[in-house]
Amino acid sequence: MPGSIRVLTVAADRPGAYPTIGSALLEAPDGAVVAIAAGTYAETLELSGRSITLQAEAGATVVLDGAGAECPTLRAVDGELTLRGLDLRAGDNLAISVDRTVLTVEQCSVRSQTRPAISVHACTAFTVDRCRIGGAETGIVVEGASGRILDTTVTGISGDGIVVALGSDPLIRGCTITSCGGRGIYVYQYSRPEITDTEVAQTGTEGIGVAHASTPTIRRVSVHDTRGPAITFAPGCGGTVEGCRTDNTGQPALAIADGATVEVIERASVRPAEAGGPLDELLGDLDEMVGLPGVKAEVRALVDEIQVNEWRRAAGLSIGGVSHHLIFAGAPGTGKTTVARLYGKLLKALGVLPQGSFTEVSRRDLVGQYIGHTAEKTAQVFEKSLGGVLFIDEAYTLSRSAGTGGDFGQEAIDALVKLMEDHRDEIAIIVAGYTAEMEDFLAANPGLASRFSKTIEFENYSAEELLLITDRMVAGGDYQLDPAAGPPLTAYFDRIAHGANFGNAREARRLVEAMRKAQSQRLRRLGRLPTTEELRSLHHTDAQTAAGG
């Protein structure tokens, strides 16, 4: 089909495939993907002016071994290069060397011996994401380039872990840099990186060294077990150090030379956002959700309040009692569970909860079958959830007014009220359900309403928002939705929106499944093998069939 991506397969023992990566590259057009089967490929590759993706086949271990060569294992100039899922090795040369190239390295292992593992020079954009770099003289060298190093481990380096030079301004976020003979990160020659939510440990000299008029921003970085100081600034340097933690480093932990102008913002109570991800990234995930403007505003307001309280606590100022328990009111399928899960991660990133874990339960998980059994079950669930979020869906079914029979549900509510008081700062409880029913739930115990700081109302999605949700679900399943499918789907959502059992995003998911079923039936009637494009495409007739139009 016109415009489709060319995929070339490399497999030494597979008839019809290219035997080497080099032979595939000789015939690959720009924009092609070279999919590589499991194996070790003793090759070195040089690309000039090319746009190519090299990636391992699903589940395959692919080693590109340039040991013994007098050139880099992979060299690219003036092009675009994407590497995914590869194990790249070099001997006495670089593993990856790029100039003036848009580079993406994802989930790769990169090793060298006596030279840098990765060298990025004069590139307008690069990304090193979820990689493991090791066994090299220097882990990553960035010179005159802008880009990102994300969630990457650099370890077992004889010299410096990451070097940022020649005015570079990369983002280094969520990384672990450890066991380096020199510095963990060295910033020099007018460079301006942002280093955030990163761990630096076990270095032969300082953890982070700044020199030659550089001005980095260093936020929420943990530096520990270093032979030299945690962070050093040479004369003429500047920048910002904010909310960093140091432990068992050379003294002084923060060494700022005369003539350096560095802003130091101490926020020791704010912990690095580890497994939950950085605070700004989590808020970005919230913003990317479809619709829910009121919910987003309420959550951001809560985050702002918690953040300021933590700053006041660190400054020795008084703060009022704060409850992290919330009520999520609204119809099913409006994103309550997703927002609750994200809220737990936000609380961990803010240093409020140690775990940020998420436990979802309903009536059957809390209510027992005989007197005393419910309190025991409720306590077990509560203790398991300590340090994170306990999300109780359809919580109103616990109250007597729900008419579910007996008072065992009421026993669960009474037990929760006591446990919430005894462990006020160790857990966040979110109860969810229809708006009117949740009012009955709060009336079930005199002390229940006061335990929750806020009710957040989740409104129904509009037809246009449901269409966007549907489109995202389709794309997530590696399908493409025919633009002509928009009108019948929107009309369908408008038609069912006022029904008593309207399920919001659940309706979108049901509709996607129905469209896939309709597509399967349509393709089976073709009488031939469908093309890749046909397999991916959900036609407007599939949408009409699914919507009953």
Residue 272 clears pLDDT 50, i.e. is over it: no
Residue 370: what pLDDT? Answer: 67
- Given pLDDT bands bounded at 50, 70 and 90, which one contains residue 322? low
Q: Give the H or E element holding residue 513.
A: helix 505-524
- In this predicted structure, the answer to whether residue 142 has a pLDDT above a threshold of 90 is yes
Q: Are 195 and 170 in contact (CB under 8 A)?
A: no
CB contact burial 31-40 (16+ within 10 A = b; e otherwise): ebbbbbbeee
Regarding whether 98 and 209 lie in a shared domain, the answer is yes
Rounded-to-integer distance, Cα 58 and Cα 399, Å: 50
**Residue type present at position 363:** R
Q: Half-sphere exposure (CA, 13 Å, Cβ side) for 172?
A: 34
Which tokens in the block code for residue 331?
A: 């119809």
Angle between helices 336-349 and 279-288 (to 10 degrees): 170
CATH number, domain with residue 375 = 3.40.50.300
What is the rounded radius of gyration, in angstroms, for the C-alpha atoms of the chain? 28
Q: Please compute the mean of the pLDDT values over residues 353-366 and round it to a whole number.
A: 79
Residue 512 has pLDDT above 50, yes or no: yes
Q: Are both 431 and 504 inside the same structural domain? A: no
How far is it, in rounded angstroms, from Cα 524 to Cα 528?
8
Task: Judge whether 324 lies within some domain.
Answer: yes
Cα gap 275→265, rounded to integer Å: 24
**Residue 320 and residue 305 share a domain:** yes
> Residue 501 — very low, low, confident or very high, per pLDDT cuts 50/70/90?
low
Q: How many CB atoms lie within 10 A of CB 209?
A: 25
Angstrom distance (rounded) from CA 528 to CA 427: 58
Q: Which residues, other chains included, contact 40 with Cβ-Cβ below 8 Å and sequence gap of 6+?
A: 63, 65
The whole-number pLDDT of residue 21 equals: 96
pLDDT of 87: 96
> Residue 411 corresponds to which tokens in the numbers above?
């026993």
Residue 317's pLDDT is: 67
- Mean pLDDT of the 476-494 span: 83
DSSP SS3 for 149: strand
pLDDT band for position 275 (cuts 50, 70, 90): very low
Q: Are residues 199 and 346 in the same domain?
A: no
Is 242 within a domain? no
pLDDT band at 267 (very low <50, low <70, confident <90, very high): very low
Q: Report residue 308 CA to chain centroid gap.
A: 25
Lowest average pLDDT, out of 247-251, 395-399, 457-461, goes to 395-399
Q: Give the range of the structural domain holding residue 129, as residue numbers without chain letter.
A: 7-217
- Please say whether the beta carbons of 168 and 195 come within 8 A: no
Tell me, yes or no, whether 56 and 204 share the same domain. yes
**70 belongs to a structural domain:** yes
Residue 515: CATH number of its domain: 1.10.8.60
Q: Do 230 and 223 form a contact (C-beta atoms < 8 A)?
A: yes
Cα 239 from Cα 265, distance rounded (Å)? 11
Q: Do 134 and 36 share a domain, yes or no?
A: yes
More confident residue, 22 or 326: 22
Task: State whether 91 and 204 are in the same domain.
Answer: yes
Residue 504 and residue 506: Cα distance in Å, rounded?
Answer: 5
Are the CB atoms for 353 and 296 separated by under 8 Å? no
Determine the 3-state secondary structure of 386 from DSSP.
Answer: coil
The pTM (predicted TM-score) of the whole model is: 0.53
> What is the Cα–Cα distance from 96 to 111, expressed in whole angstroms?
9
Write out pLDDT tens, residues 449-470. 777 878 888 888 888 888 888 8
20 phi and psi angles, rounded to 5 deg: -135, 160
pLDDT surpassing 90 at residue 482: no
Tell whether 232 is covered by a domain: no
Token code pair at residue 285: 């995930």
Residue 485 belongs to a domain: yes
Residue 271: pLDDT band by 50, 70, 90 thresholds? very low
Strand ranges inside 306-461, DSSP E: 326-330, 358-361, 389-392, 428-433, 454-458
Are 441 and 474 in the same domain? no
Confidence of residue 1 (pLDDT cuts 50, 70, 90): very low
User: 5: Cβ–Cβ under 8 A, 6 or more apart, which residues?
Assistant: 31, 32, 33
**Of the candidates 427, 423, 415, 255, which has an alpha carbon nearest to the alpha carbon of residue 340?**
427
Question: What pLDDT shows up at residue 405?
Answer: 46
Residues 480 and 453 in one domain: no
**Which ranges of 443-485 does DSSP label H, i.e. alpha helix?**
463-476
Q: Helix 336-349 vs helix 293-314: angle between axes, to the nearest 10 degrees? A: 20
- For residues 324 and 293, state if they share a domain: yes
- Give me the chain's average pLDDT, please: 85
Nearest in space to 109 (alpha carbons), one of 160, 152, 166:
152
Contact present, 110 and 132 (Cβ < 8 Å): yes
What pLDDT does 333 receive? 83
Same domain, 377 and 438: yes
Domain end position, chosen among 217, 245, 269: 217
77: amino acid identity, one letter? V
Domain end point (choices 458, 481, 502)? 458
| Winning range, highest mean pLDDT, from 139-153, 300-314, 321-335, 488-502 | 139-153
Does 132 map to a domain? yes
Q: Which residue has the tokens 């995914």?
A: 84
Of 429, 458, 487, the one marking the end of a domain is: 458
Region 235-261 average pLDDT = 92
CA atoms within 13 A on the CB side of 211: 10
Examine residue 265 and state whether it is found in any structural domain, yes or no.
Answer: no
Q: Is residue 533 helix, strand or coil?
A: helix
The whole-angstrom separation of Cα 329 and Cα 336 is 8
What are the CA-CA distances from residue 281 to residues 287, 355, 507 (Å)? 10, 18, 29
| Residue 276 pLDDT > 70 | no
The band of 304, judged by pLDDT with boundaries at 50, 70 and 90, is confident
- Helix, strand or coil, per DSSP, at residue 492: helix
Share of the chain above pLDDT 90, in %: 42
How far apart CA 339 and CA 467 sit, in angstroms, is 20
For residue range 173-194, list pLDDT tens digits in order: 989 999 999 999 999 999 999 9
Q: Give the count of domains, the chain.
A: 3
CA–centroid distance for 311 within its chain: 26
Whether 408 and 363 have beta carbons less than 8 Å apart is answered as: no
The verdict on residue 507 lying in a domain is yes
For the record, the structure tokens of 178 come out as 């450890």
69-120: per-residue pLDDT in tens?
A: 889 999 999 999 999 999 999 988 999 999 999 999 999 999 998 899 999 9
Given this model, what pLDDT does residue 439 score?
79
Measured distance between the N- and C-terminal CA atoms of the chain, rounded to whole angstroms: 30
Question: Does residue 473 share a domain with residue 335?
Answer: no
| CATH code (residue 210) | 2.160.20.10
The segment with the largest mean pLDDT, out of 117-131, 355-369, 407-421, 515-529, is 117-131
**Which pairing describes strands 109-111 and 86-89: parallel, antiparallel, or unpaired?**
parallel
CA 334 to chain centre: 22
